[in-house]
């Protein structure tokens, strides 16, 4: 099955996860050595953690953005704060998707993409703190985790082609 057909049939998530597992199994030598954290405890590489958190955040942003539209339509909450948060979450989704793509491809633009994603996540977390909505704690926590994971990837050296 061609890649385009697979993306259409399965979505990007299974391919992203498979590629990340394959890259980690290959041990390309780009990641720092991991400390022994005990038997049976799996430690993720910074790339894998970033990829997973960015993907999870992108999905969460999409769901919450639609919930915010429903809240605004029903007249719940501060309309201006919800509009500002909705716009921020739509932008975060785009940056998180871009960062995940750059990390997956080991792009030479991985560092600036992840740095930008971390910045946007921090700004969106500040905006989310000012708004009142149902999943506020989950959104802020996910934004902070994604920003941290992206910063970790930003400081990694670029892999050799």
Is it the case that residue 52 has pLDDT exceeding 90?
yes
**What is the CB neighbour count within 10 angstroms for residue 122?**
16
Confidence at residue 28, expressed as pLDDT on a 0 to 100 scale = 47
- Enter the tokens of residue 36: 């022994």
Q: Model confidence over 91-142: pLDDT tens digits?
A: 999 999 999 999 999 999 999 999 999 999 999 999 999 999 999 999 999 9
- Enter the tokens of residue 76: 């719940």
Is it the case that residue 32 has pLDDT exceeding 60?
no
45-154 fold: Substrate Binding Domain Of Dnak; Chain:A; Domain 2 (1.20.1270)
> Rounded to two decimals, what is the model's pTM?
0.72
Is it the case that residue 59 has pLDDT exceeding 70?
yes
Q: Model confidence over 15-29: pLDDT tens digits?
A: 445 444 444 544 544
- Enter the tokens of residue 115: 């740095």
Confidence at residue 41, expressed as pLDDT on a 0 to 100 scale = 55
Q: Which helix (H) or strand (E) holds 1?
A: none
Return the residue matching tokens 């501060």. Answer: 78
């Amino acid at each position: 099955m061609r890649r385009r057909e697979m993306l259409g049939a399965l979505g990007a998530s299974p391919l992203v996860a498979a590629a990340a597992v394959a890259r980690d199994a290959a041990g390309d030598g780009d990641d720092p050595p991991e400390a022994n954290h005990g038997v049976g405890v799996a430690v993720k590489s910074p790339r894998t953690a970033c990829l997973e958190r960015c993907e999870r955040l992108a999905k969460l942003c999409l769901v919450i953005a639609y919930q915010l539209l429903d809240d605004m339509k029903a007249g719940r909450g501060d309309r201006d704060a919800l509009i500002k948060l909705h716009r921020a979450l739509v932008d975060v989704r785009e940056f998180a998707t871009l960062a995940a793509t750059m990390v997956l491809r080991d792009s030479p633009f991985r560092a600036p993409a992840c740095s930008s994603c971390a910045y946007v996540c921090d700004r969106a977390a500040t905006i989310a703190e000012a708004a009142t909505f149902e999943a506020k704690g989950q959104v802020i926590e996910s934004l902070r985790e994604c920003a941290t994971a992206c910063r970790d990837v930003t400081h990694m050296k670029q892999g050799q082609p």
